[in-house]
Chains A and B, each alone.
Chain A
């Protein structure tokens, strides 16, 4: 197992480098004048350009630029924006909000998805089953921003159950509804996945054996069936945490959440390349590490999987 972990970590490095380099190139090799519009209506003075070029290593070729940048990152120096703000600070302010949002979303999708999936998987055809199938179908089909919009309008403006936008502290309770919106697509997947997994496993030989052993029905469902059925669902939930953290920009936009997604979006629009690369590098790292952890977790959950 240890060798497997080592091997995966070693594989992770080139992927990390490749991914972050790709982003760096995309952001910093944008054709056009990077300083356009920064000094008001007039073109920037040469001294300014010289200073900026030096500060951001714009004279070096992209590869060198990249390595200098990554070198700084590894020491915790995320650099400064063109307007002098410390990127590291900006990120440390916003990132915890995004993490909270992602966790809330995963928690909600797990609870609702698992319950719906277990009930319908056990019971089979019927009203509840059709209800769940149809509603998940809609959740899969409607883009997140439409769901978000509709919920914001209904709950925030029409019925006034919640404040339409989230405050700047963004505490846990405020994040419940945005979390629900963010996780709505995944919730549909979780319930369908659970449903299918339970329905398939319910007919397997080892369940028949447990029945023939005279084990009580409840135990068969909650110990034997669930333990097997839940494996693919848990791995999906795990990777979803990583995915959600990188994809919450739409939800953050609609509900006014000061997370890392909006930070990047604003950074792209205002051409602050340092913000974009800084955040994306962080997100990529988190994503890759979480995926690795989930793969290892899979081996714990299913004893047939043993990495050597």
Chain B
């Protein structure tokens, strides 16, 4: 009988076995996948691309962005052109969505309103996330009295009832004479951000605290890494995921919130006419001219839905537990 050790060294057995035996580096991949290991971000991206939820939501949003940037591509009509002869006319071949009280083409207004609704949502989301994240990482990482102070400040703003607080702040802006499209948008964005940043801060803070306690951070500290490096290289990548999910969903929520505020009469107004403004205008005529409400409300719903779905898809893709 042959010597067992000779049989092992460089024999056919080991060559075939490669397809069965997984190299020690890739213990996690029980089903051997060829290729180098991927980072969480590229893994997430690969996962996202395959999900129908993401594809649908993503394309809707992309379409909306195009509408916002190039409304002229989608309609020839002038959204501000008033023609009282057509007042409150229902949808027809000339005007797909009908006309509003002052005889303006509802379809054109919905198309042109896209940019204002999206702008507020995006602006508020960006400011909220930036502000909240910076404070959150700082609070989570620094700990101690800094954390205590920032958390208390966050609680102060969190304690303000949202709608009421927004009304107060926006009334302030209005009385201060803010006018013109962009300043009005800025005012609404500011009020939304001021009332929402504590949530973003809380998310970032707990992610930072959890990450801070991981062994790799302690190791980095022991190796003498400076705080800035630890924050940027080690904490930030791991804290991004929950904030990203929040940001996507918050974007949708902010678009809805802007509509609510406009409905109450203190959000956007002329010349920044968003879907919310259109809904507010339609308020008294809902029974006689429902198309004035339905179309902007429909667009609003679809948009918010798209962002919420996107947020759901992003969350599932980024959650390492569900892989």
Question: Which residues, 216 to 265 on A, are CB-close (under 8 Å) to B?
Answer: 243, 246-247, 249-250, 253, 261, 264-265
Contact B300 A14 (CB under 8 A): no
Option from A137, A142, A246, A253 in Cβ contact (under 8 Å) with B161 = A246
Query: What is the minimal beta-carbon distance from B284 to any residue of chain A, in angstroms?
Result: 12
Given contacts A137-B308, A144-B260, are A261 and B279 in contact (CB under 8 A)?
A: no
**Is A44 an interface position by the 8 A CB rule?**
no
Contact A22 B161 (CB under 8 A): no
**Is B278 an interface position by the 8 A CB rule?**
no
* One of B7-15, B164-172, B222-230 at the interface: B164-172
1/0 per residue A134-171: CB within 8 Å of B? 00011011111110010001000100000000000000
* One of B37-45, B127-135, B151-159 at the interface: B151-159
Given contacts A138-B305, A280-B161, are A149 and B293 in contact (CB under 8 A)?
A: yes
**Is B252 an interface position by the 8 A CB rule?**
yes
* Cβ–Cβ < 8 Å partners of A30 in chain B: 171-172, 175
> How many pairs of residues, A versus B, come closer than 8 Å at their CB atoms?
115
Contact A143 B259 (CB under 8 A): yes
Question: Interface size on B (CB < 8 Å)?
Answer: 38
Contact B159 A145 (CB under 8 A): no
**Is A95 an interface position by the 8 A CB rule?**
no
* Cβ–Cβ < 8 Å partners of B155 in chain A: 15, 19
Question: Interface size on A (CB < 8 Å)?
Answer: 42
1/0 per residue B160-184: CB within 8 Å of A? 1111110111011001100000000
Contact B308 A265 (CB under 8 A): no
Residue on A nearest B256 in the bound complex, by CB? A143
Query: What is the minimal beta-carbon distance from B118 to any residue of chain A, in angstroms?
Result: 15
Given contacts A137-B308, A250-B163, are A146 and B168 in contact (CB under 8 A)?
A: no
Contact A19 B159 (CB under 8 A): yes
Q: How far is the CA of A11 from the CA of B156 in the complex (A)?
A: 11
Contact A145 B260 (CB under 8 A): yes
Contact B156 A145 (CB under 8 A): no
1/0 per residue B118-158: CB within 8 Å of A? 00000000000000000000000000000000001101110
Residue on A nearest B276 in the bound complex, by CB? A143
**Is B95 an interface position by the 8 A CB rule?**
no
Q: How far is the CA of A234 from the CA of B169 in the complex (A)?
A: 32
Query: What is the minimal beta-carbon distance from B301 to any residue of chain A, in angstroms?
Result: 5
* Cβ–Cβ < 8 Å partners of A14 in chain B: 152
Contact A26 B256 (CB under 8 A): no
* Cβ–Cβ < 8 Å partners of B160 in chain A: 19, 22-23, 280, 284
1/0 per residue A273-308: CB within 8 Å of B? 000100110011001100000000000000000000
List 13 A-B residue pairs with CB atoms under 8 Å apart, sorted by A's residue number.
A19-B159, A27-B168, A141-B252, A141-B305, A142-B301, A143-B256, A143-B304, A249-B163, A250-B260, A250-B264, A268-B171, A276-B168, A283-B164
Query: Can you name 16 extra interface pairs (CB under 8 A) apart from A23-B160, A243-B161?
Result: A11-B152, A14-B152, A15-B159, A18-B156, A19-B159, A22-B157, A30-B172, A31-B176, A141-B304, A141-B305, A145-B259, A157-B287, A249-B163, A250-B260, A280-B161, A284-B159
Residues on B lying within 8 angstroms of A by beta carbon are: 152-153, 155-157, 159-165, 167-169, 171-172, 175-176, 252, 256-257, 259-260, 263-264, 279, 286-287, 290, 293, 297, 300-301, 304-305, 308-309
Residues on A lying within 8 angstroms of B by beta carbon are: 11, 14-16, 18-19, 22-23, 26-27, 30-32, 137-138, 140-146, 149, 153, 157, 243, 246-247, 249-250, 253, 261, 264-265, 268, 276, 279-280, 283-284, 287-288
